[in-house]
Amino acid sequence: MSSSRLGSRLAVCLLNISEARRKYIVENIAKAALEKNGRKHPEVSVLNIFSDQDYNRSVITIAASVDKLGSCVLAACLEAFRAIDMEVQEGVHPCLGAVDLIPIYPLSDVGVDECGAVARSLAKDLVLHVPGCSVFLFGEADLPKKRSLVQRRKQLGWFTRRDFSALEPDLGAAPARRCGLTDMTDANN
């Protein structure tokens, strides 16, 4: 990755999606982050894609200037929502939605507070563009509480919950069931 191509103020997102077994879907989601209006973003790179077949979960590592990262991740999330059917998704790892986790971290000349601001803006865009989207914030995105991912997972009953109707998201609608797009956004956990 060339910092001159991406800019000097860099951040990275480790986008966790609930799909690993259909490689073409994972690749299309990664490709969505790289393109705008059918053209490749020269300022964005997908650094890695890790897929776990048993978990049926992939992590797509997207790097960009802090100013461009949110829109690139939004495009990938919209593609994930379109392509992943949570009614039939199966895997060992618990998940609530097509996109489960959107941690954003600083890489170069960016503070965690800026990453938190990108995460909050992205969360608002997701609720705006995805009907029924539920967003649960943590870390620097979760102001003023700054709850950790572990705290939020405990509050949500991440590994035990079967009744989603009692969940109260920070933004968006309460999930009626395990479907659609539910994300947790972070900047420093």
Predicted local confidence at residue 6, as pLDDT? 60
Predicted local confidence at residue 131, as pLDDT? 83
Higher pLDDT: 175 or 21? It is: 21
Band of residue 132 on the pLDDT scale cut at 50, 70, 90: confident
Band of residue 4 on the pLDDT scale cut at 50, 70, 90: very low
Helices (H), the chain: 3-6, 23-34, 66-83, 112-129, 149-156
Q: What is the identity of the amino acid at 76? A: A
Helix (H, G, I), strand (E, B), or coil: what is residue 26? Answer: helix
What's the rounded mean pLDDT across residues 122-132? 90
What is the architecture, at CATH level 2, of domain 10-185?
2-Layer Sandwich (3.30)
CA dihedral 12, 16, 22, 24 (to 10 degrees): -20
Per-domain residue ranges of the chain: 10-185
Tell me the pTM: 0.88
Q: Report the C-alpha gap between 159 and 143 in whole angstroms.
A: 25
